[in-house]
Amino acid sequence: MAEGLGRTVLHRHRYGRVWGLGDRSSPAVRTPALISTDDDDDVCRGIAAFHCTQTRTIPAEMTISTQFALMPPTFDRPGPRMTASVGHVLPPSLEEANAGESADSGPLLPVSWQRLHHDPSLLDTDLQPNIVVLVDAIQLAAQPAKLVTAIQTLKHRFPGALLWTPGLGGPDNAAVLAWFGVDLFDTSRTRFALSANHLLTAFGPRQPLDGESFSMDVALHHYQQALRSVQSAIETGTLRNLAQQQSLNSPRLVEHMRHFDALMNEKSDVLRAHPSGLETIEFMAQESHLDAEVASWVEYMIQHYQTPDGLDNVLVLLPCSDRKPYRLSKSHRKFINAIGSNACHEVMVTSPLGLVPRDLEDVWPAGFYDIPVTGDWTQDERDRVQSMVESLVKRHNYSCIVNHSGIPLDVEGIEVIETRQGESSGSRGALQRLSDAVLHCKQTIDLRRRKGESINLDRFKSISRYLYGSDAWLSDCRIRGKPPRWRIEKDGKQIALWLFDRAGFSFSKDAIPLLFEQSILPTVTLRSGIKWKGDLHLGIIDSFEQNIRRGQDLLVLQDGEAVGSARALAPGWEWAGTPGRLAKMHQKR
């Protein structure tokens, strides 16, 4: 019987995860962690989570052991100890060739680029390794896109395994590799740098200063500090920022980040539907504009966004503000007063999201981002705004555009009134021209003032379409309460609360039948005969939808009936094999 490895995810941020290894209630090790080899000294082995020994035979045999008690259920002795043949590994450039002898499959799973292309045993659903080793990671890193493609393929196929890329990690790229999904790091590059009289730090290799202590102990200190910084960034949701900073250590790392962003944009299931508490996403550099959060938002606005009913008459384009949601800022209070009507469709122009409608200014990421403001727009930003405005106009029935954004726009077939004319958005002249432009539109278009409850219902319907793809559950609902905690009631019963701090709705027990009938939420089906008592984990789940996003509400089904709701702790790609809690119980009928 294969020895198990006790592990549970303590924190996650996209593909980056902090694993607790050993007893779930008191983990002996946390990742990202070091794995030592036979070339390391006793000091390194003493602090490493695992140790790897590899024979010099052909094919080589790899053994990974640990000094810690990580085996369930007793956790009373060191282990596990895992051994596997590495098989014949051909260069990644020969991906069409088949080496003939594959590596072993089991708790320790060595994988190469060639094996990913030729070994069907990797698709065996019973294959659930503890550790996956990408044995040709160094070679893959030298070829465009292959490293991130291999890593992402392995993360989705074996979400419950730790990933090691031998010879590739170091304190100067740990954040980048962790952002991709790597969990274990060795000291090969650290030792190589020392042999060349260089010290490998989080900022890259450097020569020691006069009188500076220069040893493996010092190098390990830098390595440990880098790994602790990565762990902290995962816990606080700032790993992207750290990885982006660290990618500047080399052009190759920047290339990997760009290829990874391109892959991420194809896999929206790793994104968050709701922030976990009051988080903020920071777009501090131009590279961050490639983030999948941006691509997902732009795609929704161009392909799926619909204005609230009857509001596509006058489009008013406004600049963004530092304060979120925008309507609470001083500048936007001035804009709203100048417009003097709630019958116009107000849309903010902002980088890097492009356009943010007033009815979606509370959702993630529109209500929770930060960006340095210089007043200058790049050509890419201008082109994005222009294309998004054209798409918005094409899919709606606007008769006029009042442009107070400061970005010149030309939309074929529709009148555009420029109100800034070189002045700041809050200047007296610009605000007067904004008022005059809206008044001009009122004289030619029938603008009907909306009631307060109608505005809130329109806003929540728009948010529901963004979050769930449908607003059917809000039919015949009433909005009660005071901001920011609005109550949604149907037939006199409260079915949901609007919670700004998670940018979403909190559904009551009474809402479950309605949500099930309207197919609003993704579903998770429990095994028949299981008595559901708490959080969701692999042991009690029969099936689940693949498009689950972290933070999203889920309907829990059993024997064809809705028995409750839960809130996803992990995105859908993890649900195929990640041990531990996948969702937290929210309501139970």
Domain annotation covers residue 556: yes
Instruction: Please give the pLDDT value at position 420.
Output: 93
Q: Do 422 and 515 lie in a common domain?
A: no
Domain identity same for 213 and 177: yes
Residue 507 near residue 487 (C-beta atoms within 8 A)? no
186 and 335 belong to one structural domain: no
What CATH number is attached to the domain comprising 571? 2.30.130.10
Reading phi first (left if > 0) and then psi (alpha if -120 to 50, else beta), residue 139 is in alpha
Instruction: Please count the structural domains in the chain.
Output: 3
Greatest distance between any 2 Cα atoms in the chain: 86
**Domain final position from 235, 264, 293:** 264
Asked whether residue 479 is domain-assigned, the answer is no
Sequence-separated (6 or more) residues with CB below 8 Å from residue 374: none
Q: What does the pLDDT read at residue 293?
A: 85
Q: What is the CATH number of the domain that holds 291?
A: 3.40.50.10630
Task: Please indicate, yes or no, whether residues 332 and 220 belong to a single structural domain of this protein.
Answer: no
Within 351-491, strands assigned E span 354-357, 369-370, 400-403, 415-418, 478-482, 485-490
Same domain assignment for residues 428 and 300:
yes
Q: Do residues 521 and 558 share a domain?
A: yes
Closest CA to 342 of 316, 306, 320: 316
**For the whole model, what pTM was predicted?**
0.91
Do 211 and 318 have their domain in common? no
**Whole-number pLDDT of residue 212:** 83
Residues 258 and 315 in one domain: no
pLDDT (0 to 100) of residue 270: 65
In a domain, 230, yes or no: yes
Residues 387 and 368: beta-carbon distance below 8 Å:
no
Which residue stretches of the chain have pLDDT < 50? 1
Closest by CA position to 458, among listed 449, 447, 450: 450
Instruction: Tell whether 81 and 216 lie within a shared domain.
Output: yes
Q: Are residues 313 and 427 in the same domain?
A: yes
Residue 179: what pLDDT? Answer: 96
Q: Are residue 73 and residue 167 in the same domain, yes or no?
A: yes
**Looking at the structure, do residues 179 and 312 belong to the same domain, yes or no?**
no
- Report the 10 Å Cβ neighbour count for 447: 17
* pLDDT of amino acid 491: 92
Amino acid at 561: E
What is the span of the domain harbouring residue 551?
488-588
